[in-house]
Structure 1
Amino acid sequence: MNFLKQKTILFLLVISGLQITTAQTFIQRYADVANQTSQANITNNLTEYEALGVKRRGTQALQNTLNWLKNKYLSYGYTAGQMTEDSFANSTYTCKNLVLTKIGTVYPNTYVIVCGHYDSITGTGTNDNGSGVVTILEIARLLQNIPTEYSIKFINFSGEEDGLIGSQHYVSSVVNGTNPKMDIRLVFNIDEVGGRAGMTNNNITCERDTGSPTSNNATSNTMTNELITCVGLYSPLSTTLSYAYASDYMPFENNNEIITGFFETNETPYAHTVNDLLINMDPVYNFNVAKAATGAMLHFARASTTLASETFNTDFQISFFPNPTKGKLNINLGTLKENNYTFSLIDIQGKEVYKDSISNAKQIETIDVSSFSKGVYMGVLETEKNRITKKIVIE
């Protein structure tokens, strides 16, 4: 056997080993979380969403729905600091995307986005897309206190019914406006997943990228097949593989991001009409979709497979990253509601080498540590009521 052939066989064995070790398997912890999906929450939130009226651009109903979403996230334990509004306007109206960010523990600068639009046209849009809205809310509720390796952005887009202008604005102004450009692992879009009353709704359509640019299609296909696996592992639904079109993942797809999505298989005939109402939907199906989506997000964001550590939540999910660091250090306020604090760095001799008071702190503040000597330090974030300390390595 010649040397080149030996190397080829070794390479194939290594690749085969990697495939075995990264295969998706059932994770009991993920199932336990997905099984906490609440039918009462799904149905009640659909009812409340419907009662908010026709959520057209520039209307009070749209603003009321935005406020309703904020209050929901706050009730789940998130803070106002974790939410940002991405506004876009013309001469006659202003609309807002709502973005809730949960910082990851290992890859804080890489994001898994789960998104769907909250605006409607003609009718209340209870299926299109109240069903996606309540699914995203339930995922956010269940993942609030669970550490994930990747950061998550829960995004409620406006302007979808006006030609995807909300998601396009977000991609142009935020994703591409970030320096360096925002690093996105996956965009998971959920649009119209409420099912049809009186039908057997036991299948969810999983959407992959088949358009241009084509360079991301293979990875989208891989991720969508992982989504299909998650549906089978964590819900009673079966799946249909299809293609992505005409929803808020398209501006991301055009931006060469990796996308996947959910869409109901029994498509409603009532979208964009006054009959897009809960009475014409199947809320049990919506519940099962939420279970599947929760399991998928636990997988895509690489959630902890054990119970959330006491430290993670008693420390208000505060983190300092990157760690180790060479230049910039980010201070993530987590779920701490106090936004006035002091931050200190203490070296291994116990000497305080840095201290700064930060008032009205943003969710993430950044300091320059490039002038400090290499070594191990203790980072201390202190408010009137709390003191959180974590080890920081400067390289």
Structure 2
Amino acid sequence: MKNLLFIASFLLLTTMGFSQTYIPYYGSVVEQVSASNVLANLTEFENLGVKRRGTTALQNTLNWLKAEYISYGYTTNQMQEYSFTNAGTVCKNLVVTKTGTVYPNTFIIICGHYDTINGKGTNDNGSGVVTIFEVARLLRNIPTEYSIKFINFSGEEDGLLGSQHFVSTVVNGTTPKMDIRLVFNIDEVGGRADMTNDTITCERDTGSPTSNNAASNTVTNELINCVQLYSPLNTFLSYAYASDYMPFEDNNEIITGFFEKNETPHRHTSTDLLVNMDPDYVYNIAKAATGAMLHFAKATTSLNTTVFDDNQISFFPVPAKETLSISLGNLATDSYTFSLLNLQGKVVLNQSFTDVQLIESIALKGIAKGMYLAVLETANNRITKKILID
């Protein structure tokens, strides 16, 4: 994936103007990272074969990714596939969205590629895939202030084509442009079976444009602190280079990333296999990544905090003004009806939705200010929430 040169300097956290402390609830979530899950998923990734563009193995891996997210409780409404052409073949990025409770239109992206070249790629980048899996599994039912996009890119090995397509057609193709708080990329974090793997490289932006470098440096130091708080790993500060965060960096987004400290000699070869990796290292990286994402997305800090209903449906903004948006969360449905009732029980707005999207927006023109009861109904569910229109 890349030849990494290391930067010797390390900026102390105290010079950055912030402090982080261990949060016991975050620690309790991190301790649920499963070493057996990591090993089993690395094995499954390897068994899927060489995931080159245009191959059945690549499509089978995409199908496996979707099935895995569904097994964690995510729904098809939360998944989107974005197709692009790569050397005459169609490849797909998979995006799974978890909606935030306070800033639903601002996103933390955690990403890594699933395509491989010249081999099965169990390290490059099965290790990143299974790390993202554990983060997605553990954060699924935890309210976070910011929305999260779990992204599995294709086309990385052909020149970052999948991430470039996503940035140009989705990030910049959204009106207004997608609001990204941070991109956290995980690529090749499998370690080496013949070495002691106790350090993770944390990558920051040092390139052009330079306007986002200071912010990237800040969040990378936050990432370093999360590694130290929530895993047994040491950290090494370096620079971002030649992976799927680069199209975001070129787009002036804030980026950070993980990369193995002991670089494998098996990258892009038929020997990039589990036998040459250290699955315990991946397990510890998954712990570090989970702690970091709890921090970056501003997860609740208490087991007793209840923000979502069981399906994690939410209405925003609060208070609503010209429009009200609905996020279906984990609710799986092909259609639903939304009603708005005033305090006297009169229906002032009623709208039906088919061809359901994860987030729908409703115009509130003509609706008076005040408190209302929002009612969302499907064939099997009825969810009600109080909302304020200002």
- Same fold per superposition (TM over 0.5): yes
* Inter-partner Cα distance in structure 2 for 1:325 and 1:353: 15
Structure 1 counterpart SS, 2:270: coil
2:262 matches 1:235: no
**Correspondence for 2:194:** 198
Are residue 163 (structure 1) and residue 159 (structure 2) matched?
A: yes
Residue of structure 2 aligned with 1:60, choices 38, 56, 65:
56
In structure 2, what is the Cα distance between the partners aligned to 1:142 and 1:226? 20
Aligned to 2:4: none
Aligned amino acid, residue 199 of structure 1: M
Q: Could you say if the C-alpha distance between residues 235 and 57 of structure 1 is closer, same or farther in structure 2, counting changes exceeding 3 Å?
A: same
- 1:1-395 matched pairs, under 5 angstroms: 19=17, 23-90=19-86, 92-307=88-303, 309=305, 312-314=308-310, 316-395=311-390
Residue 91 of structure 1, CA deviation? 6.3
1:65-113 deviations in Å (ceiling 9; x for gaps): 0000000000000001100001001562000000000000000000000
What is the distance in 2 between the residues matched to 1:348 and 1:56? 58
Give me the TM-score of the superposition, normalised by structure 1: 0.93
Q: CA deviation at 1:23?
A: 2.1
CA change 1:264–1:90 in 2 (3 A) is closer
**362 and 221 in structure 1: CA distance in 2 versus 1, 3 angstrom threshold:** same
Q: Kindly provide the amino acid, as one letter, of the partner of residue 344 in structure 1.
A: S
Alignment partners' CA distance in 1, 2:215 and 2:86: 36
Code of the aligned partner of 2:53: R
Aligned equivalents of 1:242 and 1:390: distance in 2? 47
**Structure possessing the higher radius of gyration over alpha carbons:** 1
Task: Give the gaps of 5 or more residues in structure 2.
Answer: 1-13
CA drift at 1:50? 0.2
CA apart distance, 1:313: 4.2
Aligned length: 376
Amino acid at match of 2:366: S
The answer to whether the Cα contact below 8 Å between 1:145 and 1:313 also exists between their aligned partners in 2 is no
Three-state SS of the structure 2 residue aligned to 1:127 is helix
Counterpart residue type for residue 370 of structure 1:
K
Asked whether the equivalents of residues 78 and 96 of structure 2 are also in contact (C-alpha less than 8 Å), the reply is: yes
Amino acid paired to 2:316: F
Identity %: 69
Where 1:140 maps in the other structure, the secondary structure is helix
Contact 1:341 1:357 in 2 (8 A): yes
1:370 shift after superposition:
2.6
- Tell me by how many angstroms 1:347 deviates: 1.1
The answer to whether the 8 Å contact 2:86/2:161 transfers is no
Task: Return closer, same or farther for 1:91/1:128 CA change in 2, 3 Å cut-off.
Answer: closer
Q: Which amino acid aligns with 1:143?
A: L
CA RMSD of aligned residues (A): 1.4
